[in-house]
């Protein structure tokens, strides 16, 4: 039986960026105006050449040290990110060596963003349910700020660099949760509304690109993140309520039987709108985006960790987790503790 262990650790990048910092740079706005649009006060930016896998490595090391996890017991590693190190080799393979894990383990990447934790958790559940693995290290990590143009206030206000490391096992522990059935959805027609352009093989960076962006400190060498914010908002408002209802129906649960809802921490204002539309009481709707920002694939496990630390998840709790965004993609499940 696959279980999501309460053992979760996370790492945020070293540089905190406050609304005041952004307002000092963008004179046309204010710290209050930024918060009113995003529900975020602080987000984090990775400095220098620190990328997603570096943050993932730190989160995994922290997990093993904080929870006394024996690395030799880990028999599979899943790395979920929209910011992989290379097109090849698999970043999970690089992390296996860097973390000093055994060589007789499986290692895969899942290229995904906002729904990434849901996909990683589903893959881990499948591997355990079929007996292919017993202890899986699930790392979700992203460094989206590397792709943001320094003059794009909308994206600078939202995105944050961070990573989480989660243990998924076949053993029920004191504070572990039974992973339920999954619901997924995809609509690639909306892919263009949130996309990292000039970042892959379809239309790669070239000499002209670097010439155009020579005044940008990074030269946008990793590509450029572009977002149609209004379309993303509309997509989320239309899709997430249906997703939640589908998950509840699949699990034969009523809304009031869920003890805590943990959504992808996309935008604080959007999340509050969704909570209101779904009529979820504030005490049952977890938010930690204000002081974390949107860390893409890492938001849900970071939120779960914080909810555990705050004593909001206890024995007997049913937690509905839902991811949605870039792709368009969406998915979720219920975890029973």
CB distance 271 to 237 below 8 Å: no
Question: What is the maximal distance between C-alpha atoms in the chain?
Answer: 58
> Nearest 5°: phi and psi at 178?
-75, 125
Annotated catalytic, 83? no
Chunked mean pLDDT (size 10), the chain, 337 residues: 91 97 98 98 96 98 96 97 96 98 98 98 98 97 97 98 97 86 98 96 92 92 96 98 98 98 98 98 98 98 97 96 98 97
**CA distances for 309 relative to 56, 313, 314, angstroms:** 20, 8, 10
Token couple for 24: 């000092």
How far is 169 from 173, CA to CA, in rounded Å?
Answer: 9
Token couple for 285: 């709707």
- Annotated catalytic residue within 114, 193, 267, 288: 114
How far is 323 from 313, CA to CA, in rounded Å?
Answer: 19
Q: Is the peptide bond prior to 120 cis by the omega test (within 30 degrees of 0)?
A: no
Q: What's the confidence (pLDDT) of residue 173?
A: 75
Q: Choose the CATH number for 3-172 among 3.40.50.1820, 3.40.47.10, 3.50.50.60, 3.20.20.540.
A: 3.40.47.10
How far is 208 from 205, CA to CA, in rounded Å?
Answer: 8
Q: What's the confidence (pLDDT) of residue 143?
A: 98
CATH architecture assigned to 183-193+226-336: 3-Layer(aba) Sandwich (3.40)
Torsion sign (Cα): 118, 300, 116, 6: negative
> Nearest 5°: phi and psi at 79?
-110, 120
pTM of the predicted model, to two decimals? 0.97
- Annotated catalytic residue within 193, 264, 267, 288: 264
Q: What is the rounded radius of gyration, in angstroms, for the C-alpha atoms of the chain?
A: 19
State the residue for tokens 């949605």: 324
CB distance 76 to 105 below 8 Å: yes
Torsion of CA 239, 152, 159, 185, to 10 degrees: 20
How far is 79 from 109, CA to CA, in rounded Å?
Answer: 5
How many C-beta neighbours within 10 Å does residue 223 have?
Answer: 19
Annotated catalytic, 252? no
How far is 45 from 161, CA to CA, in rounded Å?
Answer: 5
Sequence-distant (6+) residues with CB within 8 A of 27 are none
Give ∠ CA 169-172-178 in degrees, rounded to 5.
80
Annotated catalytic, 93? no
Give the bridge partners for 195, in sequence order.
Answer: 226
Question: What percentage of the chain's residues is helix, strand, coil (to nearest 5)?
Answer: 40, 25, 35
Q: What's the confidence (pLDDT) of residue 295?
A: 98
CATH 3.40.47.10-classified regions of the chain: 3-172, 183-193+226-336
Sequence-distant (6+) residues with CB within 8 A of 319 are 177, 258, 259, 260, 261, 262, 304, 307, 313, 334, 335, 337
Query: Residue 321: enclosing H or E segment and its boundaries?
Result: strand 318-325
């Amino acid at each position: 039986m696959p279980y999501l262990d309460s053992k979760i650790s996370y790492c945020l990048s070293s540089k905190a960026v406050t609304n005041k910092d952004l307002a000092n740079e963008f004179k046309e706005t204010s710290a209050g105006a930024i918060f009113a649009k995003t529900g975020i006060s602080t987000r984090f930016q990775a400095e220098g050449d620190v990328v997603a896998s570096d943050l993932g490595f730190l989160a995994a090391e922290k997990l093993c040290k904080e929870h006394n996890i024996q690395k030799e017991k880990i028999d599979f590693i899943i790395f979920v990110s929209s910011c992989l190190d290379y097109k090849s080799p698999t970043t999970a393979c690089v992390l296996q060596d860097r973390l000093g894990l055994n060589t007789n383990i499986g290692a895969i990447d899942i290229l995904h963003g906002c729904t990434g934790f849901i996909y990683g958790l589903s893959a881990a559940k499948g591997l355990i349910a079929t007996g292919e693995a017993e202890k899986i290290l699930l790392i979700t990590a992203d460094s989206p700020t590397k792709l943001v143009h320094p003059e794009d206030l909308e994206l600078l206000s939202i995105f944050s660099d961070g990573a989480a490391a989660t243990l998924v096992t076949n053993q029920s522990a004191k504070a572990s949760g039974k992973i339920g059935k999954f619901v997924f959805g995809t609509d690639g027609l909306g892919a263009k509304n949130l996309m990292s352009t000039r970042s892959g093989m379809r239309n790669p960076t070239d000499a002209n690109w670097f010439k155009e962006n020579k005044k940008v400190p990074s030269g946008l060498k990793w590509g450029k993140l572009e977002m149609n914010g209004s379309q993303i908002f509309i997509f989320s408002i239309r899709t997430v309520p249906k997703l939640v209802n589908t998950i509840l129906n699949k699990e034969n649960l009523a809304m009031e039987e869920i003890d805590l809802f943990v959504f992808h921490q996309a935008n604080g204002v959007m999340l509050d709108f969704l909570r209101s539309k779904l009529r979820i009481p504030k005490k049952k709707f977890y938010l930690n985006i204000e002081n974390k920002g949107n860390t893409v694939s890492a938001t849900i496990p970071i939120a779960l960790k914080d909810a555990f630390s705050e004593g909001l998840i206890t024995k007997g709790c049913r937690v509905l987790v839902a991811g949605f965004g870039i792709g368009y993609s969406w998915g979720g499940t219920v975890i029973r503790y």
